[in-house]
Amino acid sequence: MNDVKLAVLGGEGAGKSALTVRFLTKRFVGEYASNFESIYNKHLCLEGKQLNLEIYDPCSQPQKAKFSLTSDLQWADGFVIVYDISDRSSFAFAKAMIYRIREPQTSHCKRAVDSAVLLVGNKQDLCHVREVGWEEGQKLALDYRCQFCELSAAEQSLEVEMMFIRIIKDILTNFKLKEKRRPSGSKSMAKLINNVFGKRRKSV
């Protein structure tokens, strides 16, 4: 069974809990306690694999948080970075988070620069009071090799589910790539022996 660890990060009130709870229960609950952090567990079957998914929804009040951002970055296999399309300051916060994840000098991530990241513009139902354009979100995502979507936790259950599935699939792809890059001990030793003796045989 694969363990997949996903952190849902973003500015205060961007909709981190709303998205997480929507995915886990298919329900939209208007208000969430924001003074504690949670790790949710869910068993999933995806692409024929059994997964043990852990979703971390942090506390926005740093003084009450048990984990620091640095430990969030080290813990997670992938990130959903949420901003509120009707709140420009939440977009600036999302940008700073992505920068922190992607910048090799400052990155504390498990898989540093190649972690799976999905940028989400939430509260699309509030597009009449939009402060952040779709193109801005798309550009930020492209610049930092992230996936991107806009949606509404309040109104779009299916889109929220698809968004989570998308990031989990990206994490699984990263797991596979990592496996491929790491040759097994016996195979690499066989290759080494073959290279040395194979070459010698040729020169005789």
Ligand X SMILES: Nc1nc2c(ncn2[C@@H]2O[C@H](COP(=O)(O)OP(=O)(O)OP(=O)(O)O)[C@@H](O)[C@H]2O)c(=O)[nH]1
Q: How far is CA 4 from the centre of its chain?
A: 10
Nearest to 80 by CA among 3, 162, 199, 156: 162
Nearest to 172 by CA among 85, 62, 44: 44
Measured from the CB atom, the residue of 13 and 100 that comes closer to ligand X is 13
Residue 17, interface with ligand X (CB under 6 A)?
yes
DSSP 63: G
Residue 110, interface with ligand X (CB under 6 A)?
no
CB 88 within 8 A of CB 136: no
Residue 58-87 contact track with ligand X, rule CB under 6 A, x = bound: --x---------------------------
Residue 152, interface with ligand X (CB under 6 A)?
yes
- Shortest gap between Cβ of 8 and ligand X (angstroms)? 8
Measured from the CB atom, the residue of 22 and 102 that comes closer to ligand X is 22
- In a 3-state reduction of DSSP, which class is residue 42? strand
Measured from the CB atom, the residue of 17 and 115 that comes closer to ligand X is 17
H-run or E-run covering 187: helix 185-203
Residue nearest to ligand X (CB): 34
Residue 23, interface with ligand X (CB under 6 A)?
no
Phi, psi of 69 (to 5 degrees): -60, -40
Query: Which positions lie near ligand X, rule CB under 6 A?
Result: 10, 12-18, 30-32, 34, 60, 122-123, 125-126, 152-154
